[in-house]
Amino acid sequence: TVTSEFTQGLPKAELHLHIEGTLEPQLKLKLAQRNHVDIGQKTIEDVQKTYDYHDLASFLAVYYPAMNVLQHEEDFYDLAWAYLQRAAANNVRHVEIFFDPQAHTSRGIPFATVINGLHQAVVDARALNVDAALIMCFLRDFSKESARQTLAQAMQYRDKIIGIGLDSDEHNNPPLKFARQFEDAAAAGLHLTTHCDIDQKDSIEHIRQALEIMDVERLDHGTNIVEDPDLVALAAQRKIGLTACPLSNSFVSPDMKGKEITELLKAGVQISINSDDPAYFKGYISDNYYAVAQKYQLTQAQIIQLAKNSFNAAWISDQQKQLYL
Ligand code: HPA
Ligand code: ZN
């Protein structure tokens, strides 16, 4: 059987992790005080009482306002450094970290402040034996024009970013809305992924657009793909990485999508386990492995396969993969 010691000790890569979603209540309060930002909460219990969500929209309504405490470069550094220490404790050897520049530039924080703070933590993570990289996400509920400007800003920091993604509210915001930005990013050598959140109105259509038209290399969540066997076959054949997040799923739906995860493993899809927004969904990556293993009685062999998939779906060289596999 799979123990929590086993899931913790297993070397793994984390491919679906929003750095803003690692803001723990304690750090939130500390930064609020340091930056004189009134978030309307004074104690950890106050903060936790606001963590009341049942779907993507109600989660995002709690998530974005909390980011006001992030003001200076050192705040972004402290946020990322706190996560990277936890990653090391979880035996995460490689992590590709999402960040949402528009959630900060839209409230007056310069792009440079965000990326320089995060990047310094990425550099310092080498001392923790954690190999880290940054993926810039567009907020899909913002305009195409805003995405265009954001990509232009990112190009000034091209060497600090390995890829782009799409997150935030998926409702009526299909991947194709950003086809132009994805093409431009691919032309600049950036890797491509997009959230296809679970049980969205047009899940299958969004997955189809992402795979057949936009040539993404991964799907974040994406487990609704099981509804279309042809797309499952395509994902397996193209070695598309799917980044499932069991504990996150359990907040916005009645289950952790364990049946889908098992089915996709059987179909040979490169599906992995990740933590999404661990400070908000009660668990870091090892907790996610353990929770899904317990609830769906996954075998040790299946857990090992999920961890292998995490390295195989990572945006690292084959040579680097050999170090981990
Ligand atoms: N989906 C969409 N937006 C998000 C997520 C997610 O899983 N996490 C943080 N922002
Ligand atoms: Zn996510």
- Is any atom of ligand 1 closer than 6 Å to the C-beta of 100? no
Q: What is residue 268's predicted lDDT score, i.e. its pLDDT?
A: 98
- Residue 67: pLDDT band with limits 50, 70, 90: very high
Q: For a pLDDT cut of 70, what percent of the chain falls above it? A: 100
Read off the pLDDT band of 172 (50, 70, 90): very high
Q: What is the pTM of this model?
A: 0.98
| Domain residue limits, the chain | 4-315
Cβ–Cβ under 8 Å, residues 109 and 152 = no
pLDDT confidence tier of residue 292, bands split at 50, 70 and 90: very high
Whether ligand 1 lies within 6 angstroms of the CB of 18 is answered as yes
Name the DSSP class of 209: I
Residue nearest to atom 3 of ligand 1 (CA): 168
* Cα distance between residue 162 and residue 207, in whole Å: 22
Among 59, 97, 253, say which to mutate for ligand 1: greatest number of ligand atoms within 8 Å of CB. Answer: 59
Q: For the chain, where are the E strands, in sequence order?
A: 12-18, 92-99, 131-139, 163-167, 191-196, 218-221, 241-244, 270-273
The Å distance, Cα 224 to ligand 2 centre, comes to 15
Note residues around ion ligand 2 (Cβ under 5 angstroms). Answer: 276
Give yes or no for a contact between 289 and 303, defined as CB atoms under 8 angstroms apart: yes
Say yes or no: CB of residue 277 within 6 Å of ligand 1. yes
Residue type, 9: G
What confidence tier does 176 reach under pLDDT thresholds 50, 70, 90? very high
Cβ pair 207, 222 in contact under 8 A: yes
Architecture of domain 4-315: Alpha-Beta Barrel (3.20)
Cβ of 117 less than 6 Å from ligand 1: no
319: Cα separation from own chain's centroid:
24
Average pLDDT, the chain: 98
Residue 104 labeled ligand binder: no
CA distance 29 to 46: 10
168 lines ligand 1 (CB under 6 A): yes
Q: Is 167 in the pocket of ligand 1 (CB under 6 A)?
A: yes
DSSP 3-state of 245: coil
Is there an atom of ligand 1 within 6 Å of 222 CB? no
Residue 325: the pLDDT is: 87
Cα 47 to middle of ligand 1, angstroms: 20
pLDDT tens string 298-319? 999 999 999 999 999 999 999 9
The pLDDT value recorded for residue 187 is: 98
pLDDT, average across residues 173-198: 98
**How many residues comprise the chain?**
325
Task: Give the pair of three-digit tokens for residue 281.
Answer: 């969904």
Distance set, CA 187 to CA 151, 155, 183 (Å): 12, 12, 6
19: CA distance to ligand 2 center in Å? 10
CA atoms within 13 A on the CB side of 131: 16
User: Of the bound ligands, which one is closest to the alpha carbon of residue 193?
Assistant: 2
Interval between CA 276 and ligand 1 midpoint (Å): 7
Is 18 known as a binding-site position?
A: yes
pLDDT (mean) for 245-273: 97
- Residue 21 CB less than 6 A away from ligand 1: yes
Distance 183 CA to ligand 1 centre (A): 22
119 has binding-site annotation: no
Report, as an integer, the average pLDDT of 95-116. 99
Per-position b or e across 33-49, b if 16+ CB within 10 A of its CB = eeeeeebebeeeeebee
Nearest Cα residue to atom 4 of ligand 1: 168
**Ligand 1, pocket-test mutation among 83, 277, 288, most atoms within 8 A of CB:** 277
